[in-house]
Amino acid sequence: MSAVDAVYAGRREAEALMLDTCTVHRPGPPATDPDTGAVTPSLTLLYTGPCKIQQTLAQSSNPEAGGHQFTVQDTRWDTPVDAGVFEVNDVVTMVEAILDPQLTGRVYRVTDPFHKSGATAQRTRVVAVAS
């Protein structure tokens, strides 16, 4: 098996584990309603499709900044390699999580896009967005 064939086989295996469904939007400039003056963020749909999300470490960290303590969990979001080009601040919404319904509806923000030659999946770092 050639290296290229091995990568494609790895992609098929990685995608077979992506049982969840998500949408990804890119925030744009806010739009103002001329009648009401209400300002709403504009969002461009980038992707809808299979994904997988998981914490990469069992323990979280608790940094302190500005007199407040935060809980930070290292979370990875996987999508097929050809899912799109994702950027910092893109918004990921978990539409359906078959094996963990608690994830359905959760929202994450991209913090570290993923690039790699021969990747079997895009493995992107995200942080949870408080509702």
Q: What is the pLDDT of residues 83-112, one digit of tens each?
A: 999 999 999 999 999 999 999 999 999 999
Q: Kindly report the pTM of this predicted structure.
A: 0.81
Model confidence at 78, in pLDDT bands (50, 70, 90)?
A: very high
Asked if residue 114 belongs to a domain, the reply is yes
Asked if residue 74 belongs to a domain, the reply is no
Phi first, then psi: what are they for 60, rounded to 5°?
A: -105, 170
Distance from C-alpha of 51 to C-alpha of 15, rounded to nearest angstrom:
8
Asked if residue 35 belongs to a domain, the reply is no
Q: What is the tally of structural domains in the chain?
A: 1
Asked if residue 73 belongs to a domain, the reply is no
pLDDT digits (tens, 9 = 90+) for 6-53: 999 999 999 999 999 999 999 999 888 899 989 988 899 999 999 999
Asked if residue 66 belongs to a domain, the reply is no
What is the pLDDT at residue 69? 62
Asked if residue 70 belongs to a domain, the reply is no
